[in-house]
């Protein structure tokens, strides 16, 4: 009797041949799914109110002639965007931004990886050195910029150190010379954030099995062969993350540039962020500043997606 009831029940559950099985949730299961979703609603509502709606509203002003004060404005179409490509300052700032982002993305990852490889050894002081190299990251970028503006001033620490070692001929006005200003800003940024990339690479190196490295040593592989054949393929995930973060961070640089040079000398260190600040808060041209911000957001998103797709393919391989 029991066997017959089980067979009858199985016949009701199993679909006939050629039919897809129907996945049905009980009412209690759907109620259990709805309950966690309600906990997300306050966070989504706050994010939409604080971030999404102001962003959409601000992007709309890029198509107007709003003066930032009155409630009335007229739509001017793409005039503000056309102005960008005829503005020498904006084009120069875009070039500086791309150059700064490229240098930061490459050098910060190189320095971070070298530090991680050096501190992923059995050195007794490795914990203290990790703290020392990561310490600049906890500073706010504005404070770090003011520190380096003092060090690189004509009578600052760098020139004083050069004079002390008999290299007075190498003294420069590091932030006042257009040939050195942008490079000086790059040095300050790399000093502050190379430790951040180091931490990510250290996390990736911890996942590399020591057995593989020991086997490679037994087979006679040298340090460079072990790195390029074993270590680098296994930390590709950390490489992708670091490249993406450094690219986005380099494209959005503002604090150090503003604290050290404010875009000078002679607009030699102007970036898109500083031009947005200048037009929006100093000149009061809010629609043009908003159009620059929209273009910057598009450039950042496009380059980030392109870079992620190119590097993620290497990880999948």
Residues in the chain with pLDDT values less than 50: 1-18, 20-23
Tokens of 163: 């004079």
pTM score: 0.82
81-316: CATH architecture: Orthogonal Bundle (1.10)
3-state secondary structure the chain: CHHHHHHHHHHHHCCCCCCCCCCCCCHHHHHHHHHHHHHHHHHHHHHHHHHHHHHHHHHHHCCECCCCCCCCCCECCCHHHHHHCCCHHHHHHHHHHHHHHHHHHHHHHHHHHHHHHHHCCCCCCHHHHHHHHHHHHHCCHHHHHHHHHHHCCCCCHHHHHHHHCCCHHHCCCCCCCHHHHHHHHHHHHHHHHHHHHHHHHHHHHCCCCHHHHHHHHHCCCCHHHHHHHHHHHHCHHHHHHHHHHHHHHHHCCCHHHHHHCCCCCCCCCCCHHHHHHHHHHHCCCHHHHHHHHHHHHHHHHHHHHHHHHHHHHHHHC
The residue ranges of every structural domain in the chain are 81-316
What was the pLDDT predicted at 58? 84
Q: What is the CA radius of gyration of the chain?
A: 28
- Which two three-digit tokens encode residue 110? 């190189």
Distance CA 226, CA 232 (A): 9
Q: Is-contact 174 269, C-beta < 8 A?
A: no
Q: Which two tokens stand for residue 66?
A: 């709003």
């Amino acid at each position: 009797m029991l066997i017959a009831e089980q067979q009858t029940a199985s016949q009701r559950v199993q679909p006939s041949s050629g039919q897809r099985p129907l996945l049905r949730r009980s009412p209690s299961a759907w109620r259990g799914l709805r309950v966690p979703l309600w906990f997300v609603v306050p966070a989504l509502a706050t994010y939409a109110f604080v971030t999404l709606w102001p962003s959409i509203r601000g992007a709309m002003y890029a198509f107007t002639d709003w003066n930032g004060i009155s409630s009335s404005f007229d739509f001017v179409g793409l005039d503000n965007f056309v102005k960008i490509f005829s503005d020498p300052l904006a084009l120069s700032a875009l070039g500086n931004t791309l150059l700064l982002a490229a240098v930061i993305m490459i050098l910060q990852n190189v320095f971070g990886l070298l530090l991680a490889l050096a501190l992923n050894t059995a050195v007794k002081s490795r914990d203290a050195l990790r703290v020392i190299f990561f310490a600049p990251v906890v500073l706010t970028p504005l404070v770090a910029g003011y520190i380096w503006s003092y060090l690189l001033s004509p009578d600052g620490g760098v020139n004083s150190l050069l004079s002390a070692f008999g290299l007075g001929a190498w003294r420069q006005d590091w932030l006042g010379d257009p040939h050195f200003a942008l490079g000086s800003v790059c040095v300050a940024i790399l000093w502050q954030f190379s430790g951040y990339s180091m931490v990510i690479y250290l996390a990736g190196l911890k996942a590399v099995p020591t057995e593989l490295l020991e086997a490679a040593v037994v087979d006679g592989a040298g340090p460079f062969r072990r790195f390029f054949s074993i270590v680098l393929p296994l930390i590709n995930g950390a490489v992708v993350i670091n490249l993406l973060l450094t690219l986005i961070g380099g494209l959005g640089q503002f604090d150090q540039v503003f604290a050290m040079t404010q875009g000078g000398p002679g607009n030699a260190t102007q970036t898109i962020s500083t031009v947005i600040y200048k037009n929006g808060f100093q000149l009061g041209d809010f629609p043009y500043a908003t159009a620059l911000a929209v273009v910057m957001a598009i450039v950042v998103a496009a380059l980030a997606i392109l870079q992620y797709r190119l590097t993620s393919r290497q990880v999948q391989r």
